[in-house]
Structure 1
Amino acid sequence: MTAARQMPLSAVDAVEAKDGGCVARKRVRADDPYLEGHFPTLTVYPGVFLIEGVQQMLELHLDGELGGIELVSVESARFSLPVLAGDEVRFDTAITGDRPLLSTSTRCTVGGRRCARIAATWRWAA
């Protein structure tokens, strides 16, 4: 069994199951330590953090703990709206496949407006 990794970044606040996938939420806070100094005059949540959010959501949804899923590839990632401090991101994710590989299609929204679409492949950690 692989030990769960320590997470310096809490990329999701809540996860719930839905038909064919799951939904997660993350409130972006300007005082989160990992955002310090990142675009100091305008705290923009980096797109790579959205991808990390998909990973943590999958881990919590499928295994109940962090550290069990690894990113294999990002087939596409389109960022269409900046996510700012104070925003709540909603991750709506469809999951296909089964062990050892999963594919996800995620639509990230803030206030009902799409901020990103991410299609990726994942595998269970060895």
Structure 2
Amino acid sequence: MHEKRHRKLVRDRVPAIIRSKGEEAQTTVLAPAEFTPALLDKLVEESVELRMAPTRGQLDELADVWEVLTTVVTELGFTLDEVEQAASFKRIVRGGFSERVWLESTSEVPAVRN
């Protein structure tokens, strides 16, 4: 028997889906202190999958990012409304991304002597 190690957070029903295919799934329930770091790792994982997805798979990957993100929001003690308000404030103060600005570099400007 070949064991494949995953060592990652998965959706709640994934172990049952694995078992329904005749495979074994070794699982554990994370302690509260382990859950947030695992969620943040999962957010990175799902973001990378979104980045790599072909156009036809992007909606599914966006759904995965959304599911993890909304869970992170709750786990950190915020509401989606609070996140939206913070995003709106940052959009007003710093702008959004609609203008597609790419920052190439920055440099210090020499002081002008009088």
Instruction: Compute the TM-score of the two structures, normalised by the length of structure 1.
Output: 0.27
Which structure features the higher share of strand residues?
A: 1
User: Which structure is richer in relative contact order (CA contacts within 8 A, separation 6 or more)?
Assistant: 1
Instruction: From the CA coordinates, give the structure whose radius of gyration is larger.
Output: 2
Q: Which has the higher helix share?
A: 2
